[in-house]
Structure 1
Amino acid sequence: MTSASRDARTDWESRIGRHTDVRTYRPPALEAPAGLEATPGRGQVTLTWDPVDGAVGYLVQRADAPDGAYRPVEVGEPLVRAVPHPPFTDTTVVPGRPVWYRVSAVGAVDDHEQPACSPVPATPAADGAARCMVAVDAAAALGPVHRPWRPMIGSEHLSQLGYGAGPGGRHIGDEFAEALRMAHEDLGVRAARAHAILHDELGVYREVDGQPVHDFSGIDQIYDQLLEIGLRPIVEIGFMPRDLARDPSKTVFEYDAIISPPRDWERWESLVADLTAHLVDRYGLEEVRTWGFEVWNEANLEVFWAGTPEEYLRLYDVTARAVKGVDAQLPVGGPASAAAGWLDLFLEHASSTGSPVDFLSTHTYGNAPLDLRALAARHGFPGLPLWWTEWGAHASHFNGAHDSVWSAAYLVRGMVSAMGRLDALAYWTVSDHFEELGRAPSLLHGGFGLLSVGNLRKPRWWGLWMLEQLKEERVAADVTGDGAGDMVDAIASRSPDGSVTVVVWNGTADVTKSIGEPLLDRQVELTVTGIPTGRYELRHRRLDERHSNLNGAWAAVSQGRDWPDDEDEWAELRRSDRLQDLEPPATVEAGDDPITMTFEMPMPAVSLIELRPIA
């Protein structure tokens, strides 16, 4: 680790937890959820309850006695303990120890004062058979498959496209471009959202003899290449150019991104307006109308904004006015907040001032995104597009959970949870070519990327790739049994040619189980009905500790080394870089009886099961 990396990491860790709390808005009173049930199973308790109108999520609390001290079940970030909907499987329990649960609805991420329902008891089991049944009815259509990962993916700053040699002796620019291309071609992603488009590295703004000089040639090179790949930019407007910063000493990351407000608001507005007009001139108005202009990044964290909340709102107003001054149909939004913060503050401000908002954006890690539809509606923005422009398994850098199979099951669970209730869920990030707190020290180092340095597919890539294999139309998949509906769940789909694709997973949001937990392993019985009579090829591919797992492939090669020694070792890793069959493909007959298969499903694991008609 370089001294610059060490300094950046120390600074980050000292400030990342400092949220700027602003509570000027109190959410409306919500009813306590009715119908709470706690069903114990082996190593877990699964909770269900009736949804509450106006809720964005639900705070699940647990105690060791009915009148004990109730505390939130620890999932997700400390400030985002609420879950978006039932059911919820609690795997943080101790088998054999009785517990009591209560649940309250929340109207905002920090709304912990709503009434809770009456507590219910449960005692998780320490042993016994644990089975789940997945019943797919391919004749029961539910509508098109929603794919919230397609609108955008997170990316390290795009100036990396011009970089040379980097970690492991790999060429950063070439591999970074290829990673973005893979996301577009293999995952269906349409746009990339990245930091630092106004960083001084690109020479966008300087002052000569006291006068502003704008130069967008560096941005042109980046966006030209991105569009050639097939991706559009989500233009995150930040950080602050040095010559325009009120306090250029306020920075974040190893590359010294300046987090200060502008010292001259008119010059900031002129910069944004000129950049927007330049993009329209270069790429065409109809093209740029399909992009998005997001104002700053996580200003509710001290580490990303050296101004006040009021100054951020001013920044938003000035920036939005500059963008809309070029064309009223260019989409602009925010607040791009951490941990779903400042959303009421932001929309209350926009509602009272008339400042334009075309999408609401925020971030979270470690939990499925909250359901923000009711929050937007109560401020007068029903149907406002909801963009989660950062989402991931864990918020910390260099954390082994990022490389684990657990994070793949987490990703699948969260993406399916998000279907139909938000517009974009951008996984953070596409590649381990990433330098916020220093570059990759080894091949598997707990990096945020779906792809490693060298563009080897990490488990999370395979989780998202399996979801992308779903067919056009979603069909019914009823899951019952021990931990069903949250920990163990499934999504099924069909295509007009009669093919059926099912993704089944066993996973929990409980990061303490990221290396697995035998008590949570399950046997799964899958049945498929509602398909035309005939012969089908049945293929079952699997991601788990022993299948399709880069960790195991690298362990077999590395002998404790940080990087492959030569191209032969890279080639060996690429040969195993595929989604492996759990068992050989087979031919099955569909008739009066359902197609049935039984298999073991460790926790964590994800299965892709495909039925293709044989002509």
Structure 2
Amino acid sequence: MLRRLVIFMAVLVVAVPAIFYSFQAFSRASAIKANIVVDITKTTGPFPDRWKALAQGGEESGVRMLENVVSKISGLYPKYIRLDHIYDFYEVVTRDSSNNLKFDFSKLDKTVCDIYNTGAKPFFSLGYMPQTISEDGSLIGKPKNWNEWTFLVQKTVEHYSSKNTVLPCGAMENFWKTDIYYEVWNEPDLESFGKWKYTGAKSYSDLYFFSVKGAQQAQNILPYKIGGPVTTALYKNWIQKFLDYIIANNLRIDFISWHHYSKKTDDYTQDIINLNKWLGEDPKYDKYENLPKIISEWGYDSEKNQIADTEVGAAHTVASLRNLISSKLEQSFLFEIKDGPTLSWGILTYQGEEKPRYKALKLLNDLEGSQLMVDGEGSN
């Protein structure tokens, strides 16, 4: 009975993308009709779990957004949860009476504990600029003094990756504090997040340089990951200029990340193809070809779109992940976990009710073991 159930679910995971592909290509006269054949005697390897990653955006400040959905999230067995707005939403930085920086991670700690209670590790987006550090007083300005940003990153890494870290949820085994990710900023190329350039007066290269410097100054810590450039999409000029700067300054980089929103389910895997092609264009990039590649936000639409909350959105999720699990991608973070007070991108409502995309992920979670050989999917 169990074997038949697994086979049924495997066929369903193939069939749902096929339906979605047909929907996408309804008007294409040249489309090749699918004739799906599943051979249960042949496998293509173990079913990977690199897609078990979720992202939460900044829908609500000053509260534990994930508190009421911990059990729902844990049911998806995520490996990592990406958290944005860690400095501005959780009031991490102030100044004392002598005008020195003062750090208080207590509010952020509570949300990080919620992440741990789901069974996941945190993946931090290092941003945004604390107003007391910012040159123009905004959350997207560059710092008045780069050393203060460096110190902030140092203290962040020391706080969450320390061998002695104790959070409100208690002391943890080193496993849970090892390989925490620190991603430098969020969509730096976007106007609303600062419109940083890869060079110039407001340079992401500088931001990355001083972030790495801060992380490397951290003391008594466990292994961690730091990387970027986390642009709104994968751009050749950004990737190559970013790596040129890293080469010239001998900087650490542990992963390459970017975002991608598209209704076309093949676009995500095309990113991997393009990136590998660009890295192969010059021998100086050879040592970066095997860096972990991470899509740290992805979804149906970068704008709020009610279709994403329908069965079409769920089919899009399964179809996209069906492609991603066979690509050379370290992780892909579906955006986002939970709506804010108004409808947004969540797979759960503000009250924690399940949407179709959540149920699609639950379906995928029930698959384990080896992937079955599939043929005859057509051209879509």
TM-score range, shorter chain: 0.7 to 0.9
Cα distance change, pair 403–89 in 1 and its aligned pair in 2 (3 A): closer
- Structure 2: distance between partners of 1:136 and 1:92: 23
Please name the residue that 2:51 is paired with.
Answer: 149
- Structure 2: distance between partners of 1:232 and 1:328: 14
1:470 matched to 2:364? The reply is no
Compute the displacement of 1:349 (Å).
Answer: 1.9
Greater radius of gyration (CA) = 1
Task: Give 1:394's match in structure 2, choosing from 286, 296, 301.
Answer: 301
Task: Give 2:289's match in structure 1, choosing from 382, 388, 404.
Answer: 382
Please name the residue that 2:71 is paired with.
Answer: 181
Q: How does 1:43-192 map to 2 (within 5 A)?
A: 91=24, 94=27, 123=29, 132-150=34-52, 152-157=53-58, 162=63, 173=65, 176-184=66-74, 186-192=75-81
Compute the displacement of 1:308 (Å).
Answer: 3.7
Compute the displacement of 1:200 (Å).
Answer: 5.7
Q: What are the superposed Cα offsets for residues 73-129 of structure 1, whole Å, 9 maximum, x if unpaired?
A: xxxxxxxxxxxxxxx87946757xxxxxxxxxxxxxxxxxxxxxxxxxxx459xxxx
Q: What are the superposed Cα offsets for residues 5-47 of structure 1, whole Å, 9 maximum, x if unpaired?
A: xxxxxxxxxxxxxxxxxxxxxxxxxxxxxxxxxxxxxxxxxxx
Q: Secondary structure at the match of 1:202?
A: coil
Please name the residue that 1:313 is paired with.
Answer: 205
**Letter in structure 2 aligned against 1:139:** T
Cα distance change, pair 243–391 in 1 and its aligned pair in 2 (3 A): same
- Structure 2: distance between partners of 1:322 and 1:210: 20
1:346 matched to 2:242? The reply is yes
- Structure 1: distance between partners of 2:22 and 2:216: 45
**Letter in structure 2 aligned against 1:365:** Y
How many residue pairs were aligned? 333
Q: Secondary structure at the match of 1:187?
A: coil
Please name the residue that 1:496 is paired with.
Answer: none
Please name the residue that 2:145 is paired with.
Answer: 264
Q: How does 1:486-525 map to 2 (within 5 A)?
A: 486=380
**Letter in structure 1 aligned against 2:291:** L
- Structure 2: distance between partners of 1:195 and 1:321: 21
1:452 matched to 2:358? The reply is no
Q: Normalized against structure 2, the TM-score is what? A: 0.79
Compute the displacement of 1:471 (Å).
Answer: 2.2
Q: Secondary structure at the match of 1:321?
A: helix
Q: Which has more helix, going by share of residues?
A: 2
Q: What are the superposed Cα offsets for residues 421-464 of structure 1, whole Å, 9 maximum, x if unpaired?
A: 211111000111x2xxxx31xxxx4x201112332221111222
- Structure 1: distance between partners of 2:259 and 2:228: 11
Please name the residue that 2:118 is paired with.
Answer: 229
- Structure 1: distance between partners of 2:356 and 2:222: 42
**Letter in structure 1 aligned against 2:356:** P
Cα distance change, pair 355–377 in 1 and its aligned pair in 2 (3 A): farther
- Structure 2: distance between partners of 1:485 and 1:148: 25
Percent identity of paired positions between Structure 1 and Structure 2: 22
Is 1:200–1:241's contact at 8 Å kept on the other side of the alignment?
no
Please name the residue that 1:357 is paired with.
Answer: 253
Q: Normalized against structure 1, the TM-score is what? A: 0.50
1:479 matched to 2:373? The reply is no
- Give the aligned CA root-mean-square deviation in angstroms: 2.6
Is 2:261–2:298's contact at 8 Å kept on the other side of the alignment?
yes
- Structure 2: distance between partners of 1:143 and 1:293: 31
Is 1:204–1:218's contact at 8 Å kept on the other side of the alignment?
no
Is 1:291–1:331's contact at 8 Å kept on the other side of the alignment?
yes
- Gap runs ≥5 in structure 1: 1-87, 96-122, 164-172, 251-257, 487-615
1:324 matched to 2:220? The reply is no
Q: Secondary structure at the match of 1:454?
A: coil
Cα distance change, pair 181–354 in 1 and its aligned pair in 2 (3 A): farther
Compute the displacement of 1:201 (Å).
Answer: 4.1
Cα distance change, pair 229–134 in 1 and its aligned pair in 2 (3 A): same
Q: Secondary structure at the match of 1:388?
A: strand
Q: What are the superposed Cα offsets for residues 328-368 of structure 1, whole Å, 9 maximum, x if unpaired?
A: 83210101110113222222222232211101110010143
- Structure 2: distance between partners of 1:386 and 1:364: 13
- Gap runs ≥5 in structure 2: 1-20, 167-171
Q: How does 1:238-277 map to 2 (within 5 A)?
A: 238-248=127-137, 250=138, 258-277=139-158
Please name the residue that 1:282 is paired with.
Answer: 165
Q: How does 1:212-223 map to 2 (within 5 A)?
A: 212-223=101-112
**Letter in structure 1 aligned against 2:229:** P
* Structure of greater relative contact order (alpha carbons < 8 Å, 6+ residues apart): 2
